[in-house]
Amino acid sequence: MAILTLAAKSLWNRRLTSALVVFAITLSVILLLGVERLRTQARASFANTLSGADLIVGARGGPINLLLYSVFRIGDPTNNVNWTSYRTLATHPHVAWTVPLSLGDSHRGFRVLGTSRAYFEHYRYGRNQPLRLAEGREFEDVFDAVLGTEVADRLGYRLGQSIVIAHGAGEVSFTLHDDKPFRVVGVLARTGTPVDQTVHVSLEGIEAIHADWRGGAPVPGMRLSAEQVRQLDLTPKTLTAFLVGLKSKTLIFRMQREINEFAAEPLLAILPGLTLQQLWDLLGLAENALLVVSGLVVLVGLTVMLAALLTGLNERRREMAILRAVGARPGQIFALVLGESVALALAGAALGLLLLQGGLLLAGPLLEARLGLAVAGWPPSGHELVLLAAVLGCGALAGLFPAWRAYRYSVADGMTIRI
């Protein structure tokens, strides 16, 4: 205990240098744990976005692209699925339920999803959790809209307000469907998934706002009012994709093969979990590279500590000699210097962890709003604690050489005047 007290007083006596060393270690720990936290939370968030769906079906293309645009609202499809093909598969004897998805429009930077009421019944996230309404009801009318909680919160919408959908999925659009506004009738409870950042309308609503459009542009001289389009047949002609739930899990691969060999048009059926694993395999190299860079930054921080301790030893020869003269044994001198290195590493690791937690508390809502990524702040995971223990262990190892140098100092060595 006396050695620890002496180590603390010694560090306080050199507080400016000690503070700089702790600061360097703190920054490196923040980077290391921050990368690890974002990596694990991103995986967990993506994995929790969709559960319960056996297959996702879309136009033939890349499986990862299909997963990204249908579930995570990232990117755009290469083609659409014909409505007749969807109905054929939806009525297949092995299919228990389907959820149609129609993307392509937006509202003030948020994606608009056209779907059916089966979406609220069958869509699951996390551990098979269903969607719940925080207020209001599901859409019933052609121009009803149900908002994700992030849309409602960020834009300040309440039930009964009118919203205008824009053509295209960009954050800024100069083509608005302002002649056919939608009315907010419901707000979904928070899920921590892209559902929170989505405006949900009916498939008929998507068809209605495009009734006087052809080829992605308004038809010149043709303008139909909201009441006029209500009289039309609003059955969709195409879909972006659809989710499929089967009557038996044993039929998944059989049904996947049947859809992939569908004769009417080229389709692609993917297993969400398997495709998500392919995505992680693709991103694994980048994740490992980030961890390596973070580890190198920690190494730089510990090297700064080693340099500070070694430089300080030359200035502390007289201090070591005095300690030896008053009865301190070489082993105690060794423990003193080693304790200083461990104390510096511990202070940097603890401060880095605390600052990271504070940063996540402040930046968490922004990450969730911008990226749909819910990052948990506390407690640290077991792997993060292992990384912190590794930092402390490396700090102790970095202190061994200066401690050994101090151990070898003699009383006469410290009293010698060097020119």
Domain range list for the chain: 2-46+283-415, 55-270
Of residues 354 and 43, more confidence is placed in 354
Collect all residues with Cβ–Cβ distance below 8 Å to 159 and sequence separation of at least 6: 135, 136, 184, 185, 186, 187
Determine contact, residues 168/106, Cβ cutoff 8 Å: yes
- What pLDDT was estimated at residue 366? 65
- What pLDDT was estimated at residue 411? 47
Return the SS3 of 248.
Answer: coil
Determine contact, residues 63/55, Cβ cutoff 8 Å: no
Q: What is the mean pLDDT of residues 174-192?
A: 87
Peptide linkage before 220 cis (omega within 30 of 0): no
What tokens does 150 get?
């992030």
Amino acid at 328: A
What's the whole-number average pLDDT of the chain? 82
- What pLDDT was estimated at residue 103? 92
% of the chain residues with pLDDT over 70 = 81
Distance between CA 257 and CA 391 in Å, rounded?
50
- What pLDDT was estimated at residue 322? 62
316 pLDDT higher than 80: no
193-233, pLDDT tens digit by residue? 889 999 999 999 999 998 877 766 677 767 787 788 888 88
- Helices and strands in the chain, H and E counts: 14, 17
- What pLDDT was estimated at residue 93? 94
What tokens does 63 get?
């499986």
Of residues 314 and 229, more confidence is placed in 229
- What pLDDT was estimated at residue 245? 94
Residues in a beta bridge with 95: 246
Buried b (16+ CB within 10 A) or exposed e, 86-95: beebbebebb
Residues in a beta bridge with 267: 59
Residue 57 CB coordination number (10 Å): 28
Distance between CA 293 and CA 315 in Å, rounded?
34
246-284, pLDDT tens digit by residue? 999 999 999 999 999 999 999 999 999 889 888 887 777
% of the chain residues with pLDDT over 90 = 34
Distance between CA 323 and CA 372 in Å, rounded?
59
Of residues 277 and 47, more confidence is placed in 277
Distance between CA 312 and CA 306 in Å, rounded?
10
Determine contact, residues 236/207, Cβ cutoff 8 Å: yes
Read off the pTM. Answer: 0.72
List Cα–Cα distances, 389 to 22, 224, 383, 395, in angstroms: 16, 67, 10, 10
DSSP character string of 53-95: -SEEEEESS-HHHHHHHHHS--S--SS-EEHHHHHHHHT-TTE
What tokens does 77 get?
């499809």
List Cα–Cα distances, 45 to 187, 319, 342, in angstroms: 21, 55, 36
- What pLDDT was estimated at residue 226? 78
- What pLDDT was estimated at residue 267? 95
- What pLDDT was estimated at residue 56? 96
100-143, pLDDT tens digit by residue? 999 988 998 899 999 999 999 999 988 888 999 999 999 999 99
Nearest 5°: phi and psi at 158?
-130, 165
- What pLDDT was estimated at residue 102? 95
